[in-house]
Amino acid sequence: MSNPSDIFNFGYESFTDGIVITDTSLSLVSCNKAWKNLFDLPQDWTRDSFDDFVRILSEQSVKTEPLNEILTGIRSNPLWTGTRNLMRPDGKTIQIQSSPILDKQNECIGRIWIGKEASDTSLTFEQLKNSEQLFKTIFDLIPEGIAISDLTTGTFYEVNAHFYQWWGYIREEVIGKSAIDLDFWVDINQRNNIVNQIKRDGSCNLVPVKMRGKNRVVRDILFSGRIITINNTPYMLSIPFDITQLMQYEEKIKSLASFIELNPNPIFEINESGIITLYNDATEQVIHDLTGTTDIYRFIPEDLDEILDALKNGIERSFDREIIVEDRIFIEHIYITNQYHTARIYLTDITKRKMAEVELSKKNDDIAAAYEEIISTEEELRENYDRLVEQEQILFESEKKLRIIVDHIPGLVLTTDTDMNVKSIFGAALEKIGLSPKTGVGHNIGDLFISIDTSLLDAHNKALSGVVSTVEGYYHDRTFLLYASPIRDASEKITGTIGIAIDITEQKKLEYERSKLLAQLEKNLIELAFLNDKIRNPLTVISTLVDMHAPEIEEPVNRCVQDIDDIIDNLDKRWIESEKTINFLQKHHGINVEFRK
């Protein structure tokens, strides 16, 4: 678990022991009802820091010296573990145990506090962690449809309560059957690769696969698995993460980006200072057509005070303004979001509509019809506006999910500005080269990666010139395949670079070993041909000499020669007796192999 509050998702709220979770700064993340009851706290008590909790107990005349001892021990050693007794004014003794919560790298990510009356016989934290009841609670509360199966055959041993919602199979339909029997895997090779990786490494994490449940709908899954031992038998614990909607959101993101950029009407954003931070091509094109200049600030409404106040105070509001540029009239729909702290402005040319209104005002008979048309147009604009707001929210959620994926790719994603200073760096390879996502931000890429292969730096320099390139290079004894590309703003100006470096160290090692094996095979085949000639040539000489000088032993000698020749033929055939092997070597590796007759 990466966040200590996640523990509360696994059933601690129902425990009779008082339980509190704090983060590494001792701020209270969660506490269950039993803890509040133990210390007479109101159920709607607002959690803050553990120091505030100690202050509350002091106000209740509780002697808090034991708690202060615990806090002192923790601040001197984050891994401190211990138990202290706390005496309440009513004479009851409360036993409080504090232990660190560790992640997979044994790094402290928070603490768990357990409180109970000293006479209570509740389980300790370590016993609680290891109890079968806790495991079953956690297993069934995990929202993904997870399973425990035989590592070799794939036969299901157990599934959790959410398995049916995920895959459509009830427990009785899968126990004793394998994922292969139920046709879960779209590509069986993906399962084989995962099983091989788990057998080799003990686990696999977020491997992209395609799977299907009882309804036969194919879903995009990030598959994680780990070996667990039950009754001395290895099983695979598998957890799927469905990214089907995420893949669909990516398409919606592209659609949203094209909607703004291809919109023929001006669309732009301003910040809290009234400065335009983003605009589409139509904004610049329309102002140029009207004024012959690129002064897009003429589109900003004159009365900005109310708009800027809403921006600074984080108030979500919308405004409608009319402005006149040259002889054209525009209506501006202004939407303020505290999510991005910007005001987005959508302009629509309503000159013709305004002219029509003036004309219609002179023609009373047509006023009603014209009014309905205007209302209809405004409703359409608002529907488009609401749709765009909804798409912006989808974009925001998709960006968060995409960030999760980026953090787990087997490599690095790095962006720089035009001075080659690092703006962001992500990816699973950071740990392998001793970096973290915040380590290099603000540093020059050459200073951050001191011993980096110059070809990788050159690729980023080329990207600043607009060149997209793919190169191989080395860093920290690792081989990376780098794709470097320029980053451009809305005006196509290069504002930095992005590099995606995939760690191909293991792939290169495999390619090297393969080339060595192929070379050795070719060498062995050549040596075999030479060896056969060296044996057959003397046999021919022997037969000739016997025929000339010892005809009385010619027959037995020739039989021996024939036996040796047959042995050599059999040796040839055993080396390359498979026609499929010969065709494979000729087709894929350029090695020509022929039978000797």
Question: Mean pLDDT of residues grouped by 10 in the chain (597 residues)?
Answer: 41 71 83 84 74 84 86 87 83 84 76 76 46 62 84 88 88 90 92 90 88 91 86 84 76 61 82 85 87 88 83 82 87 77 85 81 68 76 80 72 64 87 82 75 83 83 89 82 88 90 82 73 66 71 74 78 77 60 62 51
Based on the domain organization, do 95 and 184 belong to the same domain?
A: no
Domain of 455, CATH number, reads 3.30.450.20
Q: What are phi and psi of 486, to 5 degrees?
A: -75, 155
State the pLDDT at residue 123: 43
Domain boundary among 483, 503, 523: 503
Please say whether the dihedral angle defined by the alpha carbons of residues 287, 288, 293 and 294, taken in this order, is positive or negative.
positive
Based on the domain organization, do 324 and 342 belong to the same domain?
A: yes
pTM higher than 0.75, yes or no?
no
Which residue carries 């000729």 as its tokens?
Answer: 586
Does 419 fall in a domain?
yes
- Of 224, 228, 211, the closest CA to residue 149 belongs to 228
Query: How is residue 553 written in tokens?
Result: 């032993």
Separation of alpha carbons 429 and 18, rounded Å: 41
Based on the domain organization, do 203 and 276 belong to the same domain?
A: no
Does 277 fall in a domain?
yes
Based on the domain organization, do 193 and 255 belong to the same domain?
A: no
Separation of alpha carbons 560 and 576, rounded Å: 25
| Domains: count for the chain | 5
Separation of alpha carbons 441 and 424, rounded Å: 6
Domain boundary among 476, 503, 530: 503
Does 362 fall in a domain?
yes
Q: How far is CA 124 from CA 19, 86, 97, in A?
A: 11, 17, 8
Based on the domain organization, do 156 and 293 belong to the same domain?
A: no
State the pLDDT at residue 190: 92
Question: In sequence order, what E strands does 193-281 have?
Answer: 203-212, 218-230, 233-242, 267-270, 276-279
Based on the domain organization, do 428 and 473 belong to the same domain?
A: yes
Please say whether the dihedral angle defined by the alpha carbons of residues 561, 566, 569 and 570, taken in this order, is positive or negative.
negative
Helical residues (DSSP H) of 366-472, grouped into ranges: 367-406, 445-448, 454-464
Q: How far is CA 355 from CA 331, 350, 352, 362, 547, in A?
A: 14, 9, 5, 11, 122
Does 131 fall in a domain?
no
Based on the domain organization, do 255 and 398 belong to the same domain?
A: yes
CB 347 within 8 A of CB 299: yes
Give 122's DSSP letter. P
Helix (H) or strand (E) holding 3: none
Based on the domain organization, do 108 and 14 belong to the same domain?
A: yes
Based on the domain organization, do 258 and 385 belong to the same domain?
A: yes
Q: Which domain holds residue 92?
A: 4-124
Based on the domain organization, do 343 and 382 belong to the same domain?
A: yes
CB 38 within 8 A of CB 116: yes
* Residue 400 CA from chain centroid, whole number: 10
Does 198 fall in a domain?
yes
Does 519 fall in a domain?
yes
CB 50 within 8 A of CB 73: no
Domain boundary among 403, 424, 439: 403
Q: What are phi and psi of 17, to 5 degrees?
A: -75, 145
- Of 212, 211, 220, 217, the closest CA to residue 243 belongs to 220
Beta-strand relationship, 494-503 and 411-416 = antiparallel
Does 458 fall in a domain?
yes
Residues 6+ apart with CB under 8 A from 503: 410, 411, 429, 432, 478, 479, 480
Does 86 fall in a domain?
yes
Based on the domain organization, do 497 and 528 belong to the same domain?
A: no
Based on the domain organization, do 308 and 383 belong to the same domain?
A: yes
Q: What are phi and psi of 381, to 5 degrees?
A: -60, -45
